[in-house]
Amino acid sequence: MAEAKQYLMAIDLGVSNVKAGLVTRDGKIENYIEALSPLESGAGGVANILVDTCRQVLEEANISTKELLAVGCSTPGCVNPDTGIIVASATPGWAGVDIRAPLENSFELPVVVEGDGAAAALAFHSFGPTRGQNDLLGINIGTGISCGYIVQGQVLRGAGQAALEAGHMPLFMEGRPCSCGRQGCWEAHCSGGALRTLIGEFQNAGHQLPDLPEEVAELASANHETALAIWEEQGLLLGLGIASLLNVLNPKTVVLGGGYAKSWPLFKKSLLKTARERAQPRHAEAAIVCAFEPERASLLGAAVSAVREQGLDDFFIDPS
């Protein structure tokens, strides 16, 4: 391994914001920053925001690109890791976007792009209590739901590099309209985006609720009846989708990540009850847990993905 290169640049591109930071050999994230709204900037704007955000991280850390081993970027939707191009995305205008080229051109370093669900699963496979575990299902919940599955140490990819697009798993025939243009998809009913829609409906029906899911989470933590009921229902709907995934994949462990999962204590009970009751008995035995720092999972996973692509699987040292 090159002597001085102890850092990876990790980026987590989201629908509403972009996060970036330096990842160290023991999996710590340093010089973490967030920037807003790449979606509104279109594909070209997204490239600029990614590059600018990374430059800001380097500036704050006072290091040069020469001290970086590689760049890893996670993104919503499905990505072909061989090309760095988004092959499928429910977000309008994102399919076909080349995430890798602008970063590679700007930093002259190896750049790896990974779907955020797969990235989260890789993070759970590399760190924490599920380190080294196989048959591991990672579920990353932000604006939408992304999943990744680790089998025999590898991400399950599918014929078109688009396996585990579980957020768009049809859950109801006559369900809520989804960003993908269909209706009744899993993430149209339970996710950060779904929650915003739901809160709006409650407000229109005369309920006094704040606008943001995190504010409704605060209310629920203070035992507000309506807020508690909303999160309980979210858990039920998440559990229903997880029951299907348990039956299909038969995972050993399911780990939840993403900003939405920070509210785990509010929806854990109804999620576990529904998943256990609705999955087949043997399948329902899987452990279902929340990550230690759920909001960092796909960012850390982007770094893991970059390291694996370089064949440097021993880059990360076990902090325990």
Closer to Zn ion at the Cβ: 191 or 305?
Answer: 191
| Least CB distance to Zn ion at residue 251 (A) | 22
Q: Which of 78, 111, 112, 178 binds Zn ion (CB under 5 A)?
A: 178
Closer to Zn ion at the Cβ: 90 or 302?
Answer: 90
Q: Tell me: does residue 189 bind Zn ion (CB under 5 A).
A: no
Q: Tell me: does residue 168 bind Zn ion (CB under 5 A).
A: yes
Question: Parallel, antiparallel, or unpaired: how do β-strands 17-23 and 29-36 relate?
Answer: antiparallel
Which among 255, 181, 265, 253 is positioned nearest to 222, based on CA atoms? 265
| Least CB distance to Zn ion at residue 186 (A) | 8
Q: Tell me: does residue 164 bind Zn ion (CB under 5 A).
A: no
Q: Which of 180, 245, 297, 306 binds Zn ion (CB under 5 A)?
A: 180
| Least CB distance to Zn ion at residue 259 (A) | 20
Closer to Zn ion at the Cβ: 22 or 185?
Answer: 185
Closer to Zn ion at the Cβ: 136 or 185?
Answer: 185
Cβ atoms of 307 and 313 within 8 Å: the answer is yes
| Least CB distance to Zn ion at residue 89 (A) | 11
Q: Tell me: does residue 185 bind Zn ion (CB under 5 A).
A: yes
Q: Tell me: does residue 19 bind Zn ion (CB under 5 A).
A: no
Count interface residues toward Zn ion (CB under 5 A): 5
Closer to Zn ion at the Cβ: 75 or 106?
Answer: 75
Segment near Zn ion (CB under 5 A); pick from 6-14, 182-190, 245-253, 293-301: 182-190
Residues that bind Zn ion (CB under 5 A): 168, 178, 180, 182, 185
